[in-house]
Chains A and B, each alone.
Chain A
């Protein structure tokens, strides 16, 4: 039978794959994202989704919730600009000389001294109230009520209340820096006087005045015709001559659909809380305020990352039970044995950092006792067959890699402190905790008791996308982050935990044994990937003498 099918070698033909087979092979070459990548991409993209970028309104009902904040801003900005112009008009009147300049200069001061300044902004096109606002300069409160929601800034308390009518929720958050910078808060509300000086120079306002009697009061009317290049056509303001207070401000735009008029009065009372503006006391409150101790903790961690463990050499080895038993044999250079393992030597001298990865014999490591290992880290790094080297120079990363003993890549990559980077010991100990801006974030800080262990401080940051990250700091060990968890919904995506600590000769704690686990989600066929755990041991020496060339990108071999 065997002979029947036998084909002599001289008659055998090499049969290449068909086009269909090649196409099928390409089609099958699929890869899947991993859970941590998904989490990061969705967190970043999701944060932008929440970010109040100037999205076009397609459907007012649908967009309302999303646009609430920027919509407020736009209206505020528009009116702020109008107010800027008013002040500018006053300043323009300075040019007239005489008593009037003094009067108008004092008007803003008089307004500030009122208990409350209240005004209604009406659209001249629809005759509808666009917004109703209150200023209280003494308590530094600004409130604005609209048909679609309410916004209250308590500047002294550093709190912003937003009532989102569509969601029927009150959001409490800290006043964002961006709002402070843009004069949306009372304390800065008249800082725009300076801006208008430039504005007037550019727009060359033409100003005239008239004196009338309105409701028995002497009222001065100031007209300003703006230059052709200005979006605003003209401004009319009315001032109560006796009290020296602004009564109304009318702004006519070149696009008349935007025309607005603001009518001012000065009541003795104003809204003390968001509930005074018609929001039900039963409305759900979403507290997004960063607990006061979190910024302090983050500052402390950042400082420790910068200032602790600044001069060291560290050797990172997989723990004993982790030999090169990977299912991907192509990852191992063929001339290494199963007793070798991937080691990593890390150097830091202040802001200069270098990392070398390479293969190192576990057997060799076992022959040395721990003390020797500590003492011989520098020598060990020379024994290691380096397969890649990375220099972190300023904000750049330079790296090269070896294949079969030859450098094959020498390139510039990314930035040093990328989010989640855990290459250097200080990054593991005191990780970067990002405080996203323009994103609704929930923070939590609490003390966590673990039986028979030191109490930890937990910082929890939850993004609206459902991504939560937790950092467990150990106050007894210089606030080193003992555990870090990344969670999506109820699913744990990855965790890092320091299992054992050690101390340098200088008394500095550092992690000696670290466990990383990644939960890799679900396969295409519905089965769950097994969690992947790696464990490494770190040996660290502080204040070694490191050759300068270590940190020189030019020292890397060229391919």
Chain B
């Protein structure tokens, strides 16, 4: 796998291999982040789709210094937009019924394992700001300082959000098995 800077250069030059490699490298991580922030896999896939399409069409790839961080932030922003549009964060269990036996890819909604679903359900119960911090820190491996810059708040606020969020998750995710 090539380095991100080289992959970006390839995408800048319209090279599809570059795009394919970037996508293959980050797709699962980005989908997981999107799914952690959004109510169902369907919306998360839309989010991933929009981020990748915007990344290619925005013509901004030449100005990206840290591709991974850029894509993660794009997913978070896109997820925020989608949440604003729907204004709903439905119970995650709902999607388990959203199985359309007629669609082209019926198994798309069957790939989430139950264990992950519990975590997503718990995350969905958190306020947006706490959820974002947790997802960006754990899945995105971003530092609190970086998240603070992104959310335009102090590092202390981010750390508080993280601590409160994790504490709530401890309650939601229950006792030790």
Query: Per a CB cutoff under 8 Å, which of A55, A408, A423 touches B103?
Result: A423
Whether the pair B59, A59 counts as a contact (CB closer than 8 A) is no
Q: How far is the CA of A494 from the CA of B15 in the complex (A)?
A: 26
Digit string of B38-57 for contact with A (CB within 8 Å is 1, else 0)?
00010011001100110111
Whether the pair A33, B27 counts as a contact (CB closer than 8 A) is yes
Asked if A42 is at the interface of the complex by the 8 Å CB criterion, the answer is yes
Query: Per a CB cutoff under 8 Å, which of A16, A33, A56 touches B45?
Result: A33
Does more than half of chain A's interface fall in helix, strand or loop, or is it mixed? mixed
Query: Per a CB cutoff under 8 Å, which of B27, B59, B170 touches A22?
Result: B170
Asked if A422 is at the interface of the complex by the 8 Å CB criterion, the answer is yes
Chain A residue contacts of B102, Cβ below 8 A: 316, 344, 355, 422-423, 428, 536
Whether the pair A402, B97 counts as a contact (CB closer than 8 A) is yes
Interface residues in B, total, Cβ within 8 A: 70
Digit string of A454-493 for contact with B (CB within 8 Å is 1, else 0)?
0000000000111000000000000000000000000000
Asked if B66 is at the interface of the complex by the 8 Å CB criterion, the answer is no
- Which B residues between 11 and 55 are near A, CB-CB below 8 angstroms? 11-16, 19-20, 23, 27-29, 31-32, 35-36, 41, 44-45, 48-49, 52-53, 55
Asked if B105 is at the interface of the complex by the 8 Å CB criterion, the answer is yes
Q: How far is the CA of A269 from the CA of B43 in the complex (A)?
A: 60
Whether the pair B45, A49 counts as a contact (CB closer than 8 A) is no
Asked if A285 is at the interface of the complex by the 8 Å CB criterion, the answer is no
Q: A16-B175, A30-B116, A516-B106 in contact; A536/B16 too (CB < 8 A)?
A: no
Whether the pair A14, B175 counts as a contact (CB closer than 8 A) is yes
Whether the pair A65, B14 counts as a contact (CB closer than 8 A) is yes
Query: Per a CB cutoff under 8 Å, which of A23, A44, A331, A466 touches B166?
Result: A23
Whether the pair A56, B93 counts as a contact (CB closer than 8 A) is no
Q: How far is the CA of A516 from the CA of B59 in the complex (A)?
A: 38
Q: How far is the CA of A28 from the CA of B16 in the complex (A)?
A: 31
Whether the pair B90, A55 counts as a contact (CB closer than 8 A) is no
Whether the pair A53, B57 counts as a contact (CB closer than 8 A) is yes
| Interface contact tally, CB-CB below 8 A | 211
Whether the pair A32, B173 counts as a contact (CB closer than 8 A) is no
Chain A residue contacts of B12, Cβ below 8 A: 55, 58, 62-63
Asked if A195 is at the interface of the complex by the 8 Å CB criterion, the answer is no
Chain A residue contacts of B93, Cβ below 8 A: 330, 403
Q: How far is the CA of A32 from the CA of B111 in the complex (A)?
A: 8
Q: For the side of the interface on A, what is the size category?
A: 35 or more
Whether the pair B108, A27 counts as a contact (CB closer than 8 A) is no
Whether the pair B119, A26 counts as a contact (CB closer than 8 A) is yes
Q: How far is the CA of A62 from the CA of B48 in the complex (A)?
A: 28
Digit string of B75-114 for contact with A (CB within 8 Å is 1, else 0)?
0000000000010101101101111111111111011101
Whether the pair A36, B101 counts as a contact (CB closer than 8 A) is no
Whether the pair A37, B134 counts as a contact (CB closer than 8 A) is no
Whether the pair B110, A17 counts as a contact (CB closer than 8 A) is no
- Which A residues between 345 and 360 are near B, CB-CB below 8 angstroms? 355, 357
Whether the pair A48, B107 counts as a contact (CB closer than 8 A) is no
Q: Which 9 A-B pairs have the closest CB atoms?
A: A66-B14, A29-B119, A29-B116, A36-B105, A532-B107, A62-B13, A45-B56, A420-B104, A48-B57
B contact set with A: CB distance below 8 Å: 9, 11-16, 19-20, 23, 27-29, 31-32, 35-36, 41, 44-45, 48-49, 52-53, 55-57, 59, 62, 86, 88, 90-91, 93-94, 96-108, 110-112, 114-117, 119-120, 123, 134-135, 138-139, 166, 169-171, 173-176
A contact set with B: CB distance below 8 Å: 14-17, 19, 21-23, 25-34, 36-38, 40-42, 44-46, 48-51, 53-56, 58-59, 62-63, 65-66, 316, 318, 326, 328, 330-331, 333, 342, 344, 355, 357, 387-388, 401-403, 408-409, 411, 420-423, 428, 464-466, 494, 496, 516, 518, 520, 532, 534, 536
